[in-house]
């Protein structure tokens, strides 16, 4: 049992990434002791992490012995690395079985995505208690979320799943860029116009990075085992996002539609779900435990940043 003066030790996978680094920064500022998994080819980053107060453990998600040892030496494990790397989640659950420790895993709101391909499909706003029938591409991720949550009952672990929507804002770790928005900015720069796909009417929930890391901290402190939390604080269509990006890049609102066929051919199924689908969620459970997002909306964020 930890005394009041002892810091809880947190082991984070994906600590060199956008989300993992931001979560680590939040936890360190709130008195936690953080160690993180660093790939062998990222060894140059170890010194940078140490300057941020993060102790490195060199290994990969495929190194079962390293993952097991790191998890067992920690009080809390947070998995922010590749959400679709199934074996690493099995390893972490096996390592923590019957320990009563906390395992927090990360998924993404594309589990509620559809194949609208740029149309607004009148999609429901999913909350955590709604039945979910995902598109086939995301069925494995949904099944894994269920497995993690059931481990709270069957494996004696306090498991929590956090499901971010589209994340924006500057990361607080070694990687400052998120995924969807920076990609769209890059594509738009190449074309000289804000890009969207098909009609661009599809809508995606979104959340500011600082609000998201607040939820991680709050979940560690207050969530019960088996919990799932969606993280959102608004939503936009991709045509709206294209206009925001166009103005940010100095293209004076000029936008351009890319065909869905082009998107699928050159960027694949994951990006199809990431930028051409509807993914709308409600953070009912998060607000129930006191989450109160205060960051800027996506529109306000774009009005405040400069190239």
The answer to whether position 158 is within a domain reads yes
Within a domain: residue 162?
Answer: yes
What is the pLDDT, as a whole number, of residue 1?
46
Percentage of the chain beyond pLDDT 70 is 98
Under the banding of pLDDT at 50, 70 and 90, the label for residue 88 is very high
8 Å CB contact between 245 and 75: no
> Is 274 domain-assigned?
no
Q: Where would I find the H helices in the chain? A: 18-29, 46-51, 64-73, 86-96, 139-154, 180-191, 209-222, 238-248, 260-275, 284-288, 298-304
DSSP-assigned states of every residue in 178-212: -SHHHHHHHHHHHHTSEEEETT---EEEEEEHHHH
Q: Which two tokens stand for residue 196?
A: 């969207």
Residue 67 lies in a domain: yes
Average pLDDT over residues 277-293: 96
Quote the CA–CA distance of 84 and 270 in Å, as a whole number. 12
CATH number at residue 70: 3.40.50.720
Q: Convert the pLDDT of each residue in 181-229 to its tens digit.
A: 999 999 999 999 999 999 999 999 999 999 999 999 999 999 999 999 9
Q: Grade residue 27 by pLDDT with cuts at 50, 70 and 90.
A: very high
Beta bridge partners of 166: 206
Whether the predicted pLDDT of 4 surpasses 60: no
Residue 3 has pLDDT above 50, yes or no: no
pLDDT at 107: 96
- Count of domains forming the chain: 1
Name the token pair of 184: 């769209």
Phi, psi dihedrals of residue 104, rounded to the nearest 5°: -110, 120
d(CA 38, CA 24): 13
In a domain, 72, yes or no: yes
Which residues contact residue 28 at a Cβ distance below 8 angstroms, ignoring those fewer than 6 apart?
Answer: 34, 52, 53, 54
pTM of the model: 0.95
Asked, for residue 273, whether it belongs to a domain, the answer is no
The dihedral of CA 133, 116, 259, 251: what is its sign? negative
Contact assessment for residue 167 and residue 209, using Cβ atoms and an 8 Å cutoff: yes
Q: Tokens 């004076």 appear where?
A: 252
Q: Hey, what are 215's tokens?
A: 């939820």
Nearest CA-CA partner of 297 in 204, 216, 247, 233 = 233
In a domain, 139, yes or no: yes
Structural domain boundaries, residue 216: 9-114+124-170+205-233+280-293
Residue 182 lies in a domain: no
How many other C-beta atoms can be found within 10 angstroms of the C-beta atom of residue 14? 23
């Amino acid at each position: 049992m930890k005394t009041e003066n002892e810091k809880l030790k947190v082991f984070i996978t994906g600590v060199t990434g956008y989300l993992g680094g931001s979560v680590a920064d939040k936890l360190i500022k709130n008195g936690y002791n953080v160690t993180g998994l660093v790939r062998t080819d990222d060894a140059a980053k170890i010194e940078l992490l140490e300057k941020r107060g993060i102790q490195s453990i060199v290994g990969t998600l495929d190194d079962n012995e390293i993952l097991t040892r790191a998890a067992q030496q920690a009080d809390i494990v947070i998995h922010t690395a590749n959400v679709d790397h199934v074996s690493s989640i099995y390893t972490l659950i096996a390592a923590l079985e019957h320990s009563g420790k906390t395992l927090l895993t990360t998924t993404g709101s594309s589990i509620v995505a559809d194949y609208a391909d740029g149309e607004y499909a009148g999609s429901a706003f999913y909350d955590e208690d709604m039945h979910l029938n995902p598109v086939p591409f995301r069925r494995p991720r949904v099944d894994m979320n269920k497995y993690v949550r059931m481990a709270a009952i069957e494996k004696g672990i306090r498991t929590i799943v956090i499901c971010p929507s589209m994340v924006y804002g500057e990361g607080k770790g070694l990687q400052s860029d998120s995924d969807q928005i920076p990609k769209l900015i890059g594509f738009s720069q190449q074309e000289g116009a804000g890009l969207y796909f098909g009609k661009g009417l599809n809508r995606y929930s979104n959340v500011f990075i600082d609000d998201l890391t607040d939820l991680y901290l709050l979940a560690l402190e207050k969530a019960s085992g088996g919990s799932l939390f969606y993280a959102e604080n608004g939503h936009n269509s991709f045509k709206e996002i294209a206009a925001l990006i166009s103005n940010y890049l100095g293209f004076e609102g000029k936008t351009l539609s890319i065909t869905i066929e082009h998107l699928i051919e050159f960027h694949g199924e994951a990006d199809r779900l990431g930028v051409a689908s509807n993914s709308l969620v409600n953070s009912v459970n998060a607000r129930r435990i006191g989450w109160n997002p205060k960051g800027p909306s996506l529109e306000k964020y774009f009005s405040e940043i400069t190239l």
